[in-house]
Structure 1
């Protein structure tokens, strides 16, 4: 392995003059990046949303902790490997290949219900699918962030907004699919849910193909990227804001999805027995996460120098979540909804801002490398949080 791998594309030798993007083409690019951002996180969200389906397959434990742990371990390992080899593969093969693998998983996983017979077999299948989805997300996502950094201003923000919408939309998929079937029809409702997710991933592949057809895309894909991904000077520029990205995502994964789905309703016990309360909380969380990402276009008083106050301040919510899950002190649904709203909004808002601020730390020529590192920081924080969440689940029983 080379100590500092170059970021390059197969078109490195092509010289292109800068392209001036029209307002209409910029809007189209932003919309397509939003759709691709949505598809980047949709497969993982599809895995953690059907709480009632997983309880049917795994009645003795919460499999969401294991799904998150397997996903983020595989994801961060692959992203680090991609950083080591740079961008020797094209954006095209990485994005289409990654999204295609995830689409295949969403087709095969529900079909496995009718083939596998034991709880162990189902668990192996679910965790294997989590790993494949993680690899696909790492391959597609690292290139997606790097590519968005090379497009007109606003592209990265739209990728972030798409990620937030993916949580909300997959929650809506689950609620609609569950509501459309009788309460005892969890399996057919889940089949519809997973195949709807597969259709969404197909739309993500189509979005990238449409992006390639925009007039300015040829210039972007042919732009020489001569900087080094692991260049020490680049790391020095972004390390402070990169650490903030890690901390923010680590704190979120301590809560989501495992601890969040362990919280029961205090005022409407029937929502617990029907399996609706975890879905309602996931939907509430997704709504405020998406709102936070949308609001990230307004930086308010925050800069790359002081956004740490937002990142650390939201950690106050974590002990409250533990109390809610353990039925201690804060035993009212109103408190649950308020804390989830605050925590989710600050994740969406702070998550989008911190990634943008990473790119603000570097020169234009270094944005592709910074974009790949931003993806690594996000996922390193998530895997660290998922690991701690897994340990927390063991402690809490």
Structure 2
């Protein structure tokens, strides 16, 4: 065996940090030993804090690799699966977070890593600029979507006829409000029927409009033009849900079926036509007239006869999904998948509504498989219809990159579906 060469003295290297002293000593000891460094200079507080976190997690200067903190399954689902693989003792990194402008959460981190002698001081500014550029693009997309939502749903806010109210996203951002000064503020993420506090401290009730929520603190009023607004939420809803000028309108299944059929036929239907579409060949027009009479007790002049029709503005979630699918854009497909919370009136046996229900489900699913991006597919996979859809899950696994948390979740769910077959 040849003699072991003598240890070489550690030579300080250039460093991108403002205070390079911690890196100038080569491999370093734990905080309690740092005070005995050759030049007597203690490391910065952030370095000491990092050492303490590492020691608390089981790290030690003598181990050749990072200690196991996550098992393989947990690591595969962790968004930082790749910043966990190995110890890079002589490397330095600069990073900047990319924040979601909608939720305020950190989406990812742009990182530049190199050995300390190769990392240029300008890397910090470069990485920060790249992160801000990514955030700017995300914000532009969010603003464009916000404008579409305001254009589509602002009439709900105006239809209240005064009183504190707001249109908010599912993440709690205020898209439009009365008073106008609330726009851009944030409230807790709403849920249908939940009570939230408005920016002025008043209590409000959240009511879903499909893609957004309406928060209202005052009693709803009639629209300025005199035409009320009827909102139908019938996708996956059990019981079905409706609003009339922002006020909850309780519905039986039969009344929801009648309203859905009238929404599909805005010019109106006769009692015979309604009976056939609702009951098939066994229908009785007299039964329909009795149901219409009960429904008119709630809607009054909004449901005239000869033919039966709806004399009001209408916003129905299943009609919105149909329109979004007809538009054909990628963003519209994502919105349709987000709005599609389940089948149209799943308990209905109406021949007409069953046909509409099946057609809508097939159109959405086929478009998702043909041209759906990760966001649209993931939105659909969270619904009752898509959560166990093997083709949708396998498509997600195929197009999402390795290490993406949604890919690991879709893969795990696909394995479970296969094991249950």
State the TM-score bracket (shorter-chain normalisation): under 0.3
Which of 1 and 2 has higher RCO (CA within 8 Å, sep 6+)? 1
Greater helix content = 1
From the CA coordinates, give the structure whose radius of gyration is larger. 2
Greater strand content = 2
